[in-house]
């Protein structure tokens, strides 16, 4: 790279959305963003949902760092999480520059970060996960950092917990860790997407509105007030982590599906058990739950699984060979988008994605 005062250094990257099948809910340390329990997610295909981020820096840029999200300037200075990620990344770059004086001093230059989602932001579709993963990856690429995705996951975690799982594809575990400094709280790949090539996901966008109670606030209320929560964090989730990793390893869809559905239900039960109670699912969400159980009963085996994050939108997992019975039934009953919406939930269901390859 040529070095002169006008040089603009640039790197672009995309990061996918991940949807947890074992949910992260609860922090043991809010400032380092350390979770009370481990979690596991499936990374969705970038063809459907992703964030595209370009990071650039130059000596000629005005003095402070800037971030633009979907065309709107964001206030970085008031976002402790963004500041924590950028400061960690700069420290790593500075270490490279100190070791090799021929490197341009990018760590001293203001950053310009431009990010775009191809899906509604804050609609309960894990936008913060893809957003912080893309931000960390783009700046790491710009700084030519040698760190692995697992190393970078410690940084992305501080932006948004679930973001640490979007630095890898396939099936990803976020190990809660036990150390007070968070150095062992990181994401690692359990299996690549190619391990289970016929896995599919379908997203039912029940609402594209901003969620009622943001995740950070919701999980703090749950930890402080729910009497169900301790059992979930200490006993239920650790057992499920082991069981779902075995199910993924063996490509055992019925086991994977049952653990996924039970964990979603258990997480929403702790929300309802919070005080005041938190409701993320609505009537359409519950209709989707019933439909999955009806489909499984009619098939006389488990061919579909639902999961819901901190919002009413459903993600349905199924295998390609069950595509007709799962995706087909959903579209028939809930309505498929034409010019308007058809079907009994037409006015409340905003979009049914095509089942995507992962």
**Contact flags string 81-110 toward ligand DP6, x per CB under 6 A:** ------------------------------
Residue closer to ligand DP6 by CB (options 12, 220) is 220
Report the alpha-carbon distance of residue 341 to residue 228 in Å, rounded: 39
Question: 3-state class of 24 per DSSP?
Answer: coil
Residue closer to ligand DP6 by CB (options 23, 50) is 23
Residue 49: partners with Cβ closer than 8 Å, 6 or more residues away: 16, 17, 117, 118, 119, 125, 126, 130, 203
Q: Does 285 help bind ligand DP6 (rule: CB under 6 A)?
A: no
Q: Does 36 help bind ligand DP6 (rule: CB under 6 A)?
A: no
Reference 287, options 306, 268, 302, 303; nearest CA is 306
Q: Does 161 help bind ligand DP6 (rule: CB under 6 A)?
A: yes
Q: Does 233 help bind ligand DP6 (rule: CB under 6 A)?
A: no
Stretch that binds ligand DP6, among 23-31, 114-122, 256-264, 288-296 (CB under 6 A): 23-31
Question: 3-state class of 122 per DSSP?
Answer: coil
Report the alpha-carbon distance of residue 11 to residue 136 in Å, rounded: 11
Q: Does 309 help bind ligand DP6 (rule: CB under 6 A)?
A: yes
Stretch that binds ligand DP6, among 20-28, 104-112, 314-322, 325-333 (CB under 6 A): 20-28
Q: Cβ-closest residue to ligand DP6?
A: 161
Report the alpha-carbon distance of residue 114 to residue 17 in Å, rounded: 18
Min. distance of Cβ 347 from ligand DP6 in angstroms? 26
Min. distance of Cβ 122 from ligand DP6 in angstroms? 10
**Contact flags string 110-139 toward ligand DP6, x per CB under 6 A:** ------------------x-----------
Q: Does 20 help bind ligand DP6 (rule: CB under 6 A)?
A: yes
Answer for which of 107, 117, 160, 260 binds ligand DP6 (CB under 6 A) is 160
- Rounded to whole angstroms, what are the CA distances from 140 to 55, 74, 278? 9, 20, 37
Residue closer to ligand DP6 by CB (options 56, 307) is 307
# residues contacting ligand DP6 (CB under 6 A): 14
DSSP one-letter code for 339: S
Rg for the chain (alpha carbons), in Å? 21
Q: At what angle do helices 127-142 and 149-159 cross, to 10 degrees?
A: 130
Q: Does 33 help bind ligand DP6 (rule: CB under 6 A)?
A: yes
Stretch that binds ligand DP6, among 17-25, 43-51, 69-77, 97-105 (CB under 6 A): 17-25
Min. distance of Cβ 22 from ligand DP6 in angstroms? 8
Residue 203: partners with Cβ closer than 8 Å, 6 or more residues away: 44, 48, 49, 125, 313, 314, 315, 316, 351, 352, 353
Question: 3-state class of 272 per DSSP?
Answer: helix
Q: Which residues bind ligand DP6 (CB under 6 A)?
A: 20, 23-25, 33, 39, 128, 160-162, 215-216, 309-310
């Amino acid at each position: 790279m040529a070095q002169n005062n006008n040089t603009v250094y640039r790197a672009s990257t995309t990061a996918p959305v991940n949807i947890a099948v074992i949910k992260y809910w609860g922090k043991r340390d809010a400032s380092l963003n350390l979770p009370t329990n481990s979690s596991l997610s499936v990374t969705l295909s970038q063809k459907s949902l992703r964030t595209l981020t370009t990071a650039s820096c130059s000596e000629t840029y005005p003095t402070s760092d800037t971030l633009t999200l979907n065309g709107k300037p964001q206030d970085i200075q008031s976002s402790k999480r963004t500041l924590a990620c950028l400061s960690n990344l700069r420290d790593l770059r500075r270490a490279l520059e100190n070791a090799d004086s021929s490197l341009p001093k990018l760590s001293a230059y203001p950053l310009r970060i431009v990010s775009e989602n191809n899906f509604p932001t804050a609609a309960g579709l894990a936008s913060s996960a893809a957003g912080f993963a893309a931000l960390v990856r783009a700046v790491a690429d710009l700084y030519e950092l040698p760190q692995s995705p697992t190393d970078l996951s410690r940084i992305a975690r501080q932006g948004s917990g679930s973001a640490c799982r979007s630095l890898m594809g396939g099936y990803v575990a976020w190990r809660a860790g036990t150390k007070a400094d968070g150095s062992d709280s990181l994401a690692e790949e359990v299996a690549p997407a190619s391990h289970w090539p016929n896995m599919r996901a379908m997203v039912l966008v029940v609402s594209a509105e901003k969620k009622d109670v943001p995740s950070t606030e919701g999980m703090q209320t749950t930890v402080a007030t729910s009497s169900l929560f301790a059992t979930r964090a200490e006993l239920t989730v650790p057992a499920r982590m082991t069981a779902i990793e075995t199910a993924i390893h063996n490509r055992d869809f019925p086991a994977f599906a049952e653990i996924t559905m039970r964990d979603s239900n258990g997480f929403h039960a702790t929300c309802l058990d919070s005080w005041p109670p938190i409701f993320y699912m609505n009537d359409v969400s519950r209709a989707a739950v019933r439909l999955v159980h009806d489909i499984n009963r009619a098939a006389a085996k488990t061919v579909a699984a639902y999961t819901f994050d901190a919002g009413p939108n459903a993600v349905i997992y199924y295998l390609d060979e069950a595509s007709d019975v799962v995706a087909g039934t959903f579209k028939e009953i809930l309505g498929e988008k034409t010019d308007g919406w058809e079907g009994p939930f037409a006015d409340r269901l905003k979009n049914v994605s095509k089942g995507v390859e992962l």
